[in-house]
Structure 1
Amino acid sequence: AMFESRGVGLIPLAEGAAAFVNELSSGDATELVIGAGLEINPRDDRGRRAEVRIDRHSAPQLDHHRVREQVVVPVVMVLEWFAALARLELPQASSWVIEDFRVLRGLVLEDFEQPTVTTVSAAARDDGSFELAVVDAQGGKRHAAILRSGPATLAGIGPATLAPSPWTVDQIYEPGKLFHGPAFQAIAELRGLSEAGASARLLGGATLDAERWGERPRIIDAAAVDGMLQLALLCGLPRFDGPSLPLSIARCELAADPGVGPYQCELRVRDGSAQHTRCDAVLIAADGRVVVRIEGLQMFALPRAAAAE
């Protein structure tokens, strides 16, 4: 089978914020192809592995995902790679659970014109789960998580009374707030936004930029999921007086049927400090189903030196 979709779409975190700053300033036959640049090899004793080649041709939407002028691979792109392996390893599941997702070191594409090659793998464990990893061409592990079969129905999130947003949608994509270019500007309407949480209408990738994202159905709508993380960043702006980056996700449930947009996102800030926030969020498709549920999204404040343009 072949699933044609392009590249994929949040902010990577190199091993802590300081390492992320350094990253930005430093200057076999396949059985299945899912998306441009993602080649999945036949299963062997080590599990299943996919080789990913990322460049302007395979993932043109990433040109609109730049931090300090450099293209960075978003967390949601990694989640989409993991979901591709989940569909193969757990094809009968109604949903997949990705637990203990960690950004060990982010991926900065120093030369967007030439392919950057990474390996995505799923190794079976004795309890029926799978160990997921992204490894770079030098053998360094960049991302890690655990994959399990998920529930038949994803649960919603509790109601909340949220203050109106202090900004318009146009204002949140101005310098000093969200850095995302047009292909990632998924937030279409803010129904509430404060340090306590957010409620918003989000658009999918095909609606935002069909040429860059592709029009065919995706395993997850990465642009919309990125919008969830953008809301978490906005909720942390008053606390941090600057942007933040995703550090880890305790649990992410992905429906096998991702639905279509427009989507509704409800996000709640669970707790936080001067350096981080933890959030829970759900993404609701146009048919009313919860298609993504995130628990324990940890956002880490970006040092001012890195936030400065």
Structure 2
Amino acid sequence: MTRENTTLLDKSAVLLISGGAKGITSQCAIKIAENAHCRFILVGRSSILEPEPDWADGSISSEELQNNALKYFKNRGEKITPKALQKEIKNVLSSREISSTLQEIEKHGGEAVYISADVTNEKTLIPQVQSAVNKFGPITGVIHGAGNLADKLIENKTSRDFDLVVNTKIKGLKNIIQAVNPETLKFLVLFSSVAGFFGNTGQSDYAIANEILNKSAYILQESLPDCRVISINWGPWDSGMVSPELKKVFKERNIQLISTEFGVEALITELTCAKQNTPQIVIGGPINTNIEFKPFCSNEITICRRLNLRNNPFLNDHRIGSQAVLPATCASAWLADTCESLNPGFSFIHMEDFKVLKGIIFDNNAHDYELELKLLSETQDSEKVYEAIVTSQNGNNRKLFHYSGQITLAKELLTPHKHQSIQELNLDSSKYIKGIDFYQNGTLFQGPSFQGIQELLLLNEDSVITKVSLPKMEPINQGQFPARTINPYINDAIIQSLLLWTQKFYDAPCLPSRMHQWDQYRMIPFGISIWAILNITYHNDHAVVGNILVQDEEGGEFLNFIGIEGTISKHLKRFIGNKDS
């Protein structure tokens, strides 16, 4: 059964977040408040100091707090140890961070209450949670983000270290579940770690705790069928419990940290996309680079996926006539994203011979598709090449072929080339045409989600140059095709230059049907301007072929589409064409 994604996060939601007033979980809470304007019950061990100590008044930085505290205790004739002094300062900074989180949640349209309680102590946790429920209403979602570290080699660990790390995760989860009514829960998110999935030196207890969370997610999903349960195995964040010293270690190991912005967006995506059947996902690669990870033993794998119109709102902006059609750019991203997800630590860099064999058209029903992957080659574990094909079965059990391509992954991204800047092209700006004109007059059929052409800079028999940009697209609208390493929505806007060219010189629309080569150097995010330079290499009454270079204003390369083909069809003029002509 597929759940309507809007039911998980909306204004009526009441979320309990452990560890939610500080660090990365606080940033997640603030972002959810911005999206859903809901209510939060934040749980943490720290206390809010009301009022703050006199010596903290007017002090901002840790250095100021330390100097003022030393003066205060000295004037009172009291001696304070360095350890006790640091504890006093930490309490003040912690209190301020909690208060700031509460203020930011309210600022972004939410409402929050903070509970000072240890999640491992049910006697203090459960009554306070119940009191908050009396105020806000039943809890509809839980994010269990509380955690502790005690990193040491196993022979140096104490039982106290083990209990501190494991109990916060496991006993904390048990107590949280006891504190809420399972019948009102719509989602339960567990913040696990790649340490549990891959292991890591010095973190045997942390790995155990997180792997128990992972297995708990599978059990809880079975016992709570109407609740979305997911254990997210995070890699190291560029914040939270990652100290500057640890960041240095990760840099030396060439381990990429998860930015706060990316991590928060990934969480929002999981909570707003269609309900999946996988209670565990991994976001990040091994922390210990000496570990060799083999995601699956076989060189061939088939992944089943169910698609429908309801869970992909963007499709309503990609209709040809009355039919919602999956953009070819979403299909190509599907192939590449799946290969990436199976190979942590690898990134998409290249695709060859992508073909649209039979496009996917959506109706009001859900349909099942299979993505068949075959590992063709592997070069010293630094590059992998996959053959991919998407198929389905029709009503007569006949196999249908939809898309195919060859995907290359690598541990290192391609080095981008430098090209002429836009200014160096010496274009006549007086002849620029606003992109919105082509969407409004029907030359381009795409709706708002794909209306990325901002300006047409050049259109002649040999070339098309467009300025492309799309505003940030809400994850809920991206549905089952979120922009990750590849942004299929901007890529579609880039390829629209082919359609502009055929409309001009053949008075007929075209649809992308094949791409001989695609080199990707860096992702194109929402909210920035890029320039797409199409050079036509071949054309006749039935097809057009060209190369598209995508760059920034200074000439820095994002990607290159080589040998991209469009099928020209006069029949499509019934649905696509300039209504003013």
TM-score, normalised with respect to structure 1: 0.76
User: 1:84 maps to what in 2?
Assistant: 337
User: 1:98 maps to what in 2?
Assistant: 351
Looking at structure 2, the residues matched to 261 and 156 of structure 1 have their Cα atoms a distance apart, in angstroms, of 22
Looking at structure 1, the residues matched to 572 and 462 of structure 2 have their Cα atoms a distance apart, in angstroms, of 25
Which of 153, 174, 195 matches 2:415? 153
Q: Note if 1:277 corresponds to 2:544.
A: yes
1:67 counterpart letter in structure 2: I
User: 2:449 maps to what in 1?
Assistant: 183
User: 1:141 maps to what in 2?
Assistant: 401
Looking at structure 2, the residues matched to 211 and 287 of structure 1 have their Cα atoms a distance apart, in angstroms, of 33
Looking at structure 2, the residues matched to 171 and 288 of structure 1 have their Cα atoms a distance apart, in angstroms, of 27
**1:64-90 deviation digits (Å, cap 9, x = unpaired):** 100121000110111111121232355
1:271 counterpart letter in structure 2: Y
**1:170-209 deviation digits (Å, cap 9, x = unpaired):** 32113541111111111112222233222222123625x6
Looking at structure 2, the residues matched to 88 and 297 of structure 1 have their Cα atoms a distance apart, in angstroms, of 26
User: 1:248 maps to what in 2?
Assistant: 514
Which of 470, 478, 490 matches 1:213? 478
Looking at structure 2, the residues matched to 157 and 116 of structure 1 have their Cα atoms a distance apart, in angstroms, of 44
Q: Note if 1:119 corresponds to 2:370.
A: yes
When residues 89 and 258 of structure 1 are mapped into structure 2, their CA distance, relative to the original with a 3 A threshold, is farther
Give the fraction of aligned pairs with identical amino acids, expressed as a percent. Answer: 19
1:148 counterpart letter in structure 2: T
Bigger helix share: 2
Secondary structure of the equivalent of 2:324?
strand
TM-score, normalised with respect to structure 2: 0.43
**1:193-249 deviation digits (Å, cap 9, x = unpaired):** 233222222123625x665238x8622121110011111110121222110011200
After TM superposition, give the deviation of residue 291 of structure 1 in Å: 2.5
Looking at structure 2, the residues matched to 202 and 119 of structure 1 have their Cα atoms a distance apart, in angstroms, of 33
Secondary structure of the equivalent of 2:440?
coil
Looking at structure 1, the residues matched to 282 and 391 of structure 2 have their Cα atoms a distance apart, in angstroms, of 19
When residues 51 and 101 of structure 1 are mapped into structure 2, their CA distance, relative to the original with a 3 A threshold, is same
User: 2:491 maps to what in 1?
Assistant: 225
Q: Note if 1:266 corresponds to 2:517.
A: no
After TM superposition, give the deviation of residue 284 of structure 1 in Å: 2.9
When residues 154 and 89 of structure 1 are mapped into structure 2, their CA distance, relative to the original with a 3 A threshold, is farther
2:390 counterpart letter in structure 1: V
Looking at structure 1, the residues matched to 492 and 477 of structure 2 have their Cα atoms a distance apart, in angstroms, of 15
When residues 117 and 261 of structure 1 are mapped into structure 2, their CA distance, relative to the original with a 3 A threshold, is same
Q: For the Cα contact (< 8 Å) 2:436–2:451, is it kept in 1?
A: no
2:309 counterpart letter in structure 1: R
Q: For the Cα contact (< 8 Å) 1:100–1:249, is it kept in 2?
A: yes
Between 117-126 and 272-281, report the one with greater CA deviation. 117-126
When residues 203 and 211 of structure 1 are mapped into structure 2, their CA distance, relative to the original with a 3 A threshold, is farther
Secondary structure of the equivalent of 1:125?
strand
Q: For the Cα contact (< 8 Å) 1:198–1:266, is it kept in 2?
A: yes
Q: Give unmatched runs, 5+ long, in structure 2.
A: 1-231, 234-265, 284-294, 379-383, 576-581
Q: For the Cα contact (< 8 Å) 1:163–1:193, is it kept in 2?
A: no
When residues 49 and 199 of structure 1 are mapped into structure 2, their CA distance, relative to the original with a 3 A threshold, is same
Which of 163, 168, 172 matches 2:438? 172
Secondary structure of the equivalent of 2:456?
strand
Q: Give unmatched runs, 5+ long, in structure 1.
A: 8-27, 35-41
Q: For the Cα contact (< 8 Å) 1:260–1:285, is it kept in 2?
A: no
2:512 counterpart letter in structure 1: P
Looking at structure 2, the residues matched to 133 and 31 of structure 1 have their Cα atoms a distance apart, in angstroms, of 25
User: 1:108 maps to what in 2?
Assistant: 361
Secondary structure of the equivalent of 1:129?
strand
Looking at structure 1, the residues matched to 555 and 332 of structure 2 have their Cα atoms a distance apart, in angstroms, of 22
When residues 297 and 156 of structure 1 are mapped into structure 2, their CA distance, relative to the original with a 3 A threshold, is farther
Between 172-181 and 228-237, report the one with greater CA deviation. 172-181
User: 2:27 maps to what in 1?
Assistant: none
Secondary structure of the equivalent of 2:472?
helix
Bigger strand share: 1
User: 1:130 maps to what in 2?
Assistant: 386
Looking at structure 1, the residues matched to 333 and 444 of structure 2 have their Cα atoms a distance apart, in angstroms, of 22
Q: For the Cα contact (< 8 Å) 1:93–1:256, is it kept in 2?
A: no
Looking at structure 2, the residues matched to 232 and 224 of structure 1 have their Cα atoms a distance apart, in angstroms, of 14
Q: Note if 1:238 corresponds to 2:504.
A: yes
After TM superposition, give the deviation of residue 270 of structure 1 in Å: 1.7
Looking at structure 2, the residues matched to 258 and 123 of structure 1 have their Cα atoms a distance apart, in angstroms, of 28
1:269 counterpart letter in structure 2: I
After TM superposition, give the deviation of residue 258 of structure 1 in Å: 4.2
CA RMSD of aligned residues (A): 3.3
After TM superposition, give the deviation of residue 29 of structure 1 in Å: 5.6
1:125 counterpart letter in structure 2: L
Looking at structure 1, the residues matched to 453 and 437 of structure 2 have their Cα atoms a distance apart, in angstroms, of 11
Q: For the Cα contact (< 8 Å) 2:348–2:520, is it kept in 1?
A: yes
Please tell me whether Structure 1 or Structure 2 has the larger radius of gyration of its CA atoms: 2
2:449 counterpart letter in structure 1: A
After TM superposition, give the deviation of residue 107 of structure 1 in Å: 0.9
Q: For the Cα contact (< 8 Å) 2:358–2:402, is it kept in 1?
A: yes
Looking at structure 2, the residues matched to 198 and 256 of structure 1 have their Cα atoms a distance apart, in angstroms, of 22
Larger relative contact order (CA 8 Å, sep ≥ 6) = 1
When residues 191 and 45 of structure 1 are mapped into structure 2, their CA distance, relative to the original with a 3 A threshold, is same
After TM superposition, give the deviation of residue 148 of structure 1 in Å: 1.9
